[in-house]
Chains A and B, each alone.
Chain A
Amino acid sequence: MRNTTNTKTTHPALIFWIVAGWVGFLLLPWYGVEDGILSFEWLIDGYPFDEDYAPAAFLIAQGEKLWLAPLLIPLVMSLAALGRPKSDPLYAKILLLTGALGFGWLTAQGFGIGIRGFNFEWLKALFGELGDRQFGMGFGAMVLASAFLFIFTQGVAARGAINGDVFVVSAIGGVIVIVTTFVFFPIAKMLLAAFVTEEGSYSVGVFAAKFFDDRLWGLGCLSGGRCGVAWNSLFLAVLVGLLTTVLGLVFALVVTRSGFRYKRALRALTVLPIITPPFVIGLALILLFGLSGAVTQFISDLFGVQPTRWLYGLPGILIAQVLAFTPIAFLVLIGVVEGVSPSMEEAAQTLRANKWQTFCTVSLPLMRPGLANAFLLGFIESMADFGNPLVLGGNFDVLSTEIFFAIVGAQYDQGRAAVLAMVLLFFTLSAFYAQRAWLGKKSYTTVSGKGDAGVHPMMPNGLAVPVFVIAGAWGLFTIVIYGMILYGSMVELWGVNNTLTFKHYVTAFSVRIEDSGIRWTGAAWDSFWTTIYIAAAAAPLTAVVGLITAYLLTRQTFAGKNAFEFGTMLSFAIPGTVIGVSYILAFNVPPIEITGTGLILIISFIFRNMPVGVRAGIASMSQLDKSLDESSLTLGANSWQTFRKVILPLLRPAILAALVYSFVRAMTAISAVIFLVSAEYDMATSYIIGRVENNDYGLAIAYSTTLIFVMLSVVGVMQLIVGRTEIGRRMSQSRTNV
């Protein structure tokens, strides 16, 4: 890989990819192996001649799947580049042509020929019926596709793009291809599904009929009836966004601008929403405020009022979501509130503004970016939330649950689901856009190199009192709710028999020691282990993709960088239900056929959580001075070596943060997962939802509590490791060599 300057011998990376291409074509099974490539059952079961396991070359030799034969042309052509110097203009041309031809043909045949022969009418019209079919691509196809892709990027590099840097060009190419495949392609497929009629043809009329449906946009609630789901969702999300922002600000003010002692405990609150399975709060609310809830009963006994079902519907969802998402707003706002430099406030006070004037005219306006971000997050989280509306919704339907029931309901209307998903996506993207427009291009930078007192002024008293009351009340409420969750997992039968028991834990997590070893007899073990395994597999991959993207965004400049950034961050604005629906539509059929596998879960987690990895990477990389890279490059290292040996080690905290975050999110995600789980790969959250739907609350809460503790310990262990990681250059040698 050291050959960016060497022009005599062939680049080893090129040799590697050409060899990989041949291996993919000649040796690896071309189509997906049902039991997974790693089971190696295929090796003894008729390989290499059996059609199910044969590599492409053997298929063609046996006269089957002849449409794969043209792939040989670019493969052979690539050999012509070997031995040519990089400066030879032919070198780049060969590579570009090889890569483009190979990748293009591979994609074209994959989409053109599916499980029922030709996929398009015009192909049938042109060539007649094919009389053959193909299943989803497997390992061979994947390796060959990667080979063509990276041969192509090396061609681009040889043409002089990004100073001929092979690593950077390849990384950009790789990220673009996977983001296109796993974000844009499914979304496009879903948008298309909104136009499909029952007979399978496309029509705008179908879309219009579904889009202008009264159930979506009806305004009946203004006159006593029911409103459309779109309005419901929008109204709820705006309320949740506003309330969480206000509450988040209240907590941030308590921590930064008051004499409050237990600030660390408050900060610990920020971990809660990340480790709480999404519907547990809803359950706890029912146990407290439902028709027969503890609080409801107490109040009705005390005042003699008739208990009602007020919780089910907008009030319940609102309370649950505000509880769940306030810590997120707090997390966002605390950084911003701290970041407002005291010097500005000091200046205001020197100019004889009183505390109120300072707060209203200086501090608050400077917090605008934080307020906008907090609102945006609350808005999007509320739009995407699936668990709480499912449990507490009553007759108040929102988009995320409607999408789910359009797919799973007896009417089975994928088109309607797609239309609903489009509306949801429109709302979240608009919120993104509105946030940017509101912040505008004003400068909010207040931290400069100049010294200041470093102490924030206290809040004015008129503000401090309500802030403390609200923060105290809400904090107490949160503690009660979590206490309830713990208590609820340990009572026999809530509301009927309140004796304490570990019964639910035993049902879920019992083990039996037998002669043959431990037998996991508890009902929850299957989904528990699957969840751990999927989360553990997804976390490192998320971190890798996220950090490479962050590296490209902070350290490299290239054409189309803004579009690149938008594309990689897009999946953050896409709600999980939308991802779930679009993955089902896109990946249940060849060429990429991965529904029902663990792989689809892993992939969905990678792309759901990637933006966080990217953000974490960008944040810490922009703290590393560019002179570090430059000195490494000047000393003769190429960009890959610089990335690996200089930047990566300095990024350890960011890597760990990305790892923990994606691991924990993978354990608590529900909205996308519920569409993608299968018999073999059932996840904890979808198992718990199943228990909740059956009103088996004891088991559901016991399982959730266990998950909370598992994740707490994961976060705790990681905090310990991060806490000890020191990245300064003045540390003693022994400690930096961890």
Chain B
Amino acid sequence: MNKIKRLLIPSLVAMVASVTAAQAEKLTLYCSAQEDWCQLMARSFEDATGIDVNMTRKSSGETFAQIKAESSNPKGDVWWGGTGDPHLQAAEEDLTEPYVTPMRGELHDWAISQATSAGDKTIGIYSGALGYGYNTDLLAANNLPEPACWKDLLKPEYKGHVQMANPNSSGTAYTTLATMVQLFGEDEGFDFMKGLHSNINQYTKSGSAPIKAAGRGENTIGIVFMHDAVKQAVSGFPVKVVAPCEGTGYEIGSMSIIKGARNMDEAKKFYDWALSTDAQNLALEVNAFQVPSNKGADTSPSAPDMSSIKLIDYDFKTYGSSAERKRLLQKWDEDVSTLPQ
């Protein structure tokens, strides 16, 4: 019995200690950006305000699912980061709270138009263009030509060398699908996806996995956001970034306050803080090469220059809506994913 007591008592002590510790102001943050960035944002906000932050990192799809599951009884306060579509979808399904921040004057137009299109329930915090990257070593080892356009990826010599995420589980891949539909028209867009399908070696679950696999030499070409590819190149992997010649779509990384948040005041404090230059300059510390939404924030010389990339007029309102998303995903599931490779 004594041994059991010896085991029991420390666990009880730990239990009591841990629940009594959390007394101060607190904030529950759902973060859909990369882990180190999420950590840095959470810790910096704690340092700046003294508010305790509980942060969970999950992909934007997972976070959206969680917020929806918890909608009758919200557990989170703020959802920061991740591609804009699920944020717009959350706004449309009334899962998030409208808020007009005093910081708006300092922001780029695209950040504010993201907010107005969703009835002020979300706002842009960074943007990034879609593209792809390839592993230069592997490309050379396989004697493959250097691709420069979207349609280059359909060439038969790339069979088994291209990787993208599954649009069902990744916001990045859905953006790719929606971009193709907008760039080439729906029919030709789906023909493109079908052609691509026969060259794909794996549909990953997470959006940036293809380029990370390319960096480690497990894959040749990865369709991702360019800033993710730049990050791999900067970390020392043999990755070259391509801005496709036909033009490309882009994402607006967004932030929303969850409807019925338990710590509404703290949530708003975080919201305002996250749009300040100080908070947005943190991105460079963790090699996040997105374009920040605050005009005064620093941009990295390694970041893709948005003005030199041919951007399509991405219709966030239409392609961010639940109905359109569901329709496109279902069509992709039925017409593309079932094809033999």
Where the two chains meet, the residues of A that have a C-beta atom closer than 8 Å to any C-beta of B are 34-36, 38-41, 115-116, 135, 214, 220, 224-226, 286, 290-292, 306, 309, 312, 390, 394-395, 405, 407-412, 493-497, 523, 532-533, 536-537, 539-540, 543, 584, 588-589, 593, 595-596, 648-649, 652, 655-656, 659, 677-680, 682, 690-691, 693-697, 721, 738
| A410 in contact with B329 (CB, 8 Å) | yes
Number of B residues near A (Cβ < 8 Å) is: 77
| B217 in contact with A291 (CB, 8 Å) | yes
| A679 in contact with B35 (CB, 8 Å) | no
| A409 in contact with B65 (CB, 8 Å) | yes
| B216 in contact with A738 (CB, 8 Å) | no
Which one of A115, A588, A693, A721 has the highest number of Cβ atoms from chain B below 10 Å of its Cβ? A693
Residues on A with beta carbons closer than 8 Å to the beta carbon of B167: 410
**Chain B nearest CB: distance from A35 CB in Å?**
7
**Knowing A405-B168, A409-B65, A537-B11 touch, does A588 contact B70 (C-beta < 8 A)?**
yes
| A540 in contact with B4 (CB, 8 Å) | yes
| B142 in contact with A695 (CB, 8 Å) | no
Closest 5 CB pairs of A and B: A292-B217, A695-B212, A679-B54, A536-B11, A679-B56
**Knowing A39-B19, A682-B56, A690-B57 touch, does A584 contact B69 (C-beta < 8 A)?**
yes
| B64 in contact with A410 (CB, 8 Å) | yes
| A286 in contact with B218 (CB, 8 Å) | yes
| A696 in contact with B75 (CB, 8 Å) | no
9 residue pairs from A and B, CB less than 8 Å apart = A35-B22, A220-B338, A291-B218, A405-B169, A523-B39, A540-B7, A595-B70, A655-B4, A679-B28
Residue on B nearest A584 in the bound complex, by CB: B69
**Knowing A225-B340, A655-B4, A694-B35 touch, does A410 contact B168 (C-beta < 8 A)?**
yes
Cα distance, A40 to B23, chains bound together (Å): 10
> Which stretch from B100-108, B109-117, B184-192, B201-209 is at the chain A interface?
B201-209
**Chain A nearest CB: distance from B206 CB in Å?**
5
Residues on A with beta carbons closer than 8 Å to the beta carbon of B2: 738
Residues on B with beta carbons closer than 8 Å to the beta carbon of A292: 138, 216-218
Q: Does B160 touch A at the CB level, under 8 Å? A: yes
Apart from A410-B64, A410-B168, A589-B73, 12 more pairs, CB < 8 Å: A220-B340, A226-B338, A290-B216, A407-B65, A408-B65, A410-B61, A410-B167, A496-B237, A539-B11, A679-B75, A690-B35, A693-B209
Residue on B nearest A652 in the bound complex, by CB: B3
Cα distance, A694 to B16, chains bound together (Å): 35
Q: Does B304 touch A at the CB level, under 8 Å? A: no
| A679 in contact with B20 (CB, 8 Å) | no
**Chain B nearest CB: distance from A733 CB in Å?**
16
| A537 in contact with B169 (CB, 8 Å) | no
Residues on B with beta carbons closer than 8 Å to the beta carbon of A679: 28-30, 54-56, 75-76
**Knowing A35-B22, A584-B69 touch, does A533 contact B169 (C-beta < 8 A)?**
no
| B3 in contact with A408 (CB, 8 Å) | no
Chain B, range 122-158, C-beta contacts under 8 Å to A: 138, 142
**Knowing A394-B202, A678-B75, A680-B54 touch, does A409 contact B14 (C-beta < 8 A)?**
no
Chain B, residues 232-253, CB within 8 Å of chain A (1/0): the string is 0001111000000000000000
| B217 in contact with A408 (CB, 8 Å) | no
Within the complex, which residue of A41, A493, A655 is in contact with B235, where a contact is CB–CB below 8 Å?
A493
| A695 in contact with B11 (CB, 8 Å) | no
Cα distance, A454 to B38, chains bound together (Å): 63
Cα distance, A446 to B278, chains bound together (Å): 76
Cα distance, A695 to B72, chains bound together (Å): 35
**Chain B nearest CB: distance from A596 CB in Å?**
5
Residues on A with beta carbons closer than 8 Å to the beta carbon of B19: 35-36, 38-39
| A115 in contact with B73 (CB, 8 Å) | yes
| B205 in contact with A405 (CB, 8 Å) | yes
**Chain A nearest CB: distance from B184 CB in Å?**
22
Residue on B nearest A537 in the bound complex, by CB: B11
Cα distance, A225 to B12, chains bound together (Å): 55
| A533 in contact with B11 (CB, 8 Å) | yes
Residues on A with beta carbons closer than 8 Å to the beta carbon of B10: 536
Cα distance, A721 to B2, chains bound together (Å): 13
**Chain A nearest CB: distance from B208 CB in Å?**
7
| A493 in contact with B236 (CB, 8 Å) | yes
Chain B, range 51-77, C-beta contacts under 8 Å to A: 54-59, 61-62, 64-66, 68-70, 72-73, 75-76
Residues on A with beta carbons closer than 8 Å to the beta carbon of B54: 679-680
| B20 in contact with A39 (CB, 8 Å) | yes
Q: Does B48 touch A at the CB level, under 8 Å? A: no
Cα distance, A655 to B203, chains bound together (Å): 46
Which one of A497, A652, A690, A738 has the highest number of Cβ atoms from chain B below 10 Å of its Cβ? A690
Q: Does B171 touch A at the CB level, under 8 Å? A: yes
| B203 in contact with A395 (CB, 8 Å) | yes
Residues on A with beta carbons closer than 8 Å to the beta carbon of B11: 533, 536-537, 539-540
